A and B are shown apart, each in its own frame.
Chain A
């Protein structure tokens, strides 16, 4: 088992754990945002795990179909993520709905062309590579931007007691998660470019991708499984209870 696969499986398992947690929340609340985000994390985590199967089982000959299955899972998982960002941050905005539709079309049409074309589709010189890459990178950047904007306004709401400090911090963590995911997409692209040029994987670029993925795990951990010392930062110093919002 190589180091890359160990880290990839750790990331995969963590994503699935976060996804299952969110799906359980959605079962309780019956609301779609947490369901959409839960589906995204489960699908993404499963895709990360499936990607490692040929490596783990040393069955490179079966790598093509397995790789394609993992890509399909990953791209399909991005669609609920897009819907989550739109529903949460821009529920009534036409351009946001257009962006969701555009990225979805880019991802699904690109994947269908990949499936029809067979192997060697994840290449820079494949014209359908770029719609798919943009389709899964743009949502990360969008999420990040919206979360940082929300964090900025949430800080003002916290000051007047209209927002919980934990919630404001969660916006910040989601913003950072979006940045790290976008960086992972960028470093993955750099790895591909380097591989196509030099016919080998750069250990430096691989390490960069892993570090960025791990940074994303850290912020997700703080967002969904915050340790006590982290939660204590947001406790109300007067009454030792988190300052809760009374929205609505």
Chain B
């Protein structure tokens, strides 16, 4: 489920950077939170946007070189792996529907 996605993403982040396991998980958690998302209800698309728009700055702060390439590599690997994610009926979808659309 979404925690599988988080675990896989953290593992690949650790592999592509100098971050250890705890640092990789912590950095990923921070980036997800900064994006206004929750780790337990994450989708592949949302994670992709996090790695595209939020993670590079997080990695730069931690001294990781070529952060954009790293993020792209992580998402390329994740998109090739079949990871089950939670079926979404999250609050954004629900509040979108409440408007009648």
Contact = CB atoms under 8 A, between A and B. Distances in A.
Interface of A: 21-22, 25, 29, 31, 33-34, 37, 88-89, 92, 150, 152-157, 160-164, 166-167, 170-171, 174, 223-224, 245-248
User: Which 7 A-B pairs have CB atoms at the shortest separation, nearest pair first?
Assistant: A156-B36, A153-B36, A248-B88, A157-B36, A160-B53, A33-B94, A167-B95
Contacts of B34: 156
B83 interface: no
A171 B46 CA distance: 20
A164 B36 CA distance: 13
B96 A164 contact: yes
- Classify chain B's interface size: 20 to 34
Contact of B37 (A29, A157, A167): A157
6 contacts: A156-B34, A160-B49, A162-B46, A224-B99, A224-B100, A248-B45
What DSSP secondary structure best describes chain B's contact surface? helix
Nearest to A226: B99
Interface in B39-93: 40, 43, 45-46, 49-50, 53-54, 88-93
A160 B35 contact: yes
A161 to B, nearest CB: 7
B85 to A, nearest CB: 8
A33 B93 CA distance: 11
A30 B34 CA distance: 33
A224 B101 CA distance: 11
Interface in B18-50: 34-37, 40, 43, 45-46, 49-50
A167 to B, nearest CB: 5
